[in-house]
Amino acid sequence: MMDVKDRIKEIIDDSDVVLFMKGTREMPQCGFSSRVAGVLNYMGIAYRDVNVLSDEQVRQGIKDFSDWPTIPQLFIKGEFVGGCDIVTEMVLSGELDQLLEKDGIAFDKAAANKIREANA
């Protein structure tokens, strides 16, 4: 049987974009998870959502894996991007667009621009 670190690594390696969150993309269970999932959904980014509330080992394990104390946690192409505040800042600055483009991840550029316009 795999240990939790190997399970997490496999999840991250199997998908280009992974969001470890409380709840699911359809039913987020906290405001921070809801915000990040909402942005990814709005921008049309294909991603795997992992509900940490359904597995206590993964809930603690992802914090240890990334050395980051909070959830949600976004990974793109195997790299830890950050939590809610970092993702929000990256969307508003355009950094997330650049990262997605660099990594060949499809997203709706017009939607990203609308987010920035609404928060200007």
Residues β-bridged to residue 20: 50, 73
CATH topology of domain 4-114: Glutaredoxin (3.40.30)
pLDDT tens for residues 34-49? 999 999 999 999 999 9
Looking at every residue in the chain, the average pLDDT score rounds to 96
Residues that constitute the known binding site:
30
Q: Single out the residue of 30, 67, 35 nearest to residue 52, CA to CA.
A: 30
Tallying the residues shown for the chain, one arrives at 120
pLDDT tens for residues 2-23? 799 999 999 999 999 999 999 9
Q: What pTM was estimated for this model as a whole?
A: 0.95
Residues that constitute the known binding site for [2Fe-2S] cluster:
30
> Domain spans of the chain?
4-114
| Prior bond of 69 cis (ω within 30°) | no
